Amino acid sequence: MRRGLVFNIQKYSVQDGPGIRTTVFLKGCPLRCVWCHNPEGIASEREIVVLETRCIACAECRRACRFTDEQPGEGPLPALHASCDLCGRCVEACPTQARQIIGKEMTVDQVLRVVLEDRLFYEESGGGVTFSGGEPLLQADFLRQALAACKGHGLKTAVDTCGLAAWEQLASVVPLADLFLFDVKFVSDAKHRQYTGVSNQLILSNLRRLARVHSSIWIRVPLIPGLNDDPPELEAIAGLAGSIPSVRQVNLLPFHRTGMAKARRLGRDPVLADLSPPTQDGFSAALAPFQQRGLLVKIGG
Per-residue confidence at 1, pLDDT binned at 50, 70, 90? low
Q: Are both 88 and 159 inside the same structural domain? A: no
Q: Are both 62 and 192 inside the same structural domain? A: no
Largest CA distance in the chain: 63
Q: Contact 15/160 with Cβ under 8 angstroms?
A: no
Q: Are both 203 and 266 inside the same structural domain? A: yes
Domain interval for residue 134: 3-44+105-299
d(CA 290, CA 117): 37
Q: Contact 114/7 with Cβ under 8 angstroms?
A: no
Q: Are both 91 and 171 inside the same structural domain? A: no
Q: Are both 171 and 287 inside the same structural domain? A: yes
Torsion, Cα 269 301 232 296, to 10 degrees, reads 180
pLDDT at 288 over 70: yes
Residue where one domain finishes, among candidates 80, 102, 124: 102
Domain CATH for 66? 3.30.70.20
* Mean pLDDT calculated for residue range 167-184: 98
Q: Are both 35 and 138 inside the same structural domain? A: yes
Q: What pLDDT is stored for residue 32 in this prediction?
A: 97
Domain count for the chain, please give it: 2
Q: Are both 84 and 98 inside the same structural domain? A: yes
Other Cβ atoms within 10 Å of 204 Cβ, number: 17
Q: Are both 82 and 23 inside the same structural domain? A: no
Domain CATH for 167? 3.20.20.70
d(CA 260, CA 133): 17
Q: Are both 73 and 198 inside the same structural domain? A: no
- Helix (H) and strand (E) counts in the chain: 11, 11
Q: What pLDDT is stored for residue 272 in this prediction?
A: 87
* Mean pLDDT calculated for residue range 151-155: 97
CA atoms within 13 Å, Cβ hemisphere of 116: 14
* Mean pLDDT calculated for residue range 118-127: 96
Ramachandran bin of 192, using left for φ above 0, alpha for ψ from -120 to 50, beta for the remaining angles: alpha
| Higher pLDDT, residue 83 or 151 | 151
Other Cβ atoms within 10 Å of 21 Cβ, number: 28
* Mean pLDDT calculated for residue range 162-185: 98
Residue where one domain finishes, among candidates 84, 102, 120: 102
Q: What pLDDT is stored for residue 271 in this prediction?
A: 87
How many residues are listed for the chain in this entry? 301
The DSSP secondary-structure symbol of 189 reads: H
Q: Are both 28 and 177 inside the same structural domain? A: yes
- What are the start-end ranges of the H helices in the chain? 60-64, 89-93, 108-116, 119-125, 140-152, 167-173, 189-196, 201-213, 231-242, 258-265, 280-291
- Phi and psi at residue 120, to the nearest 5°: -60, -40
Q: Are both 113 and 76 inside the same structural domain? A: no
Q: Are both 81 and 165 inside the same structural domain? A: no
Q: Nearest-CA neighbor of 163 among 133, 129, 141? A: 133
- Coil vs helix vs strand at 234: helix
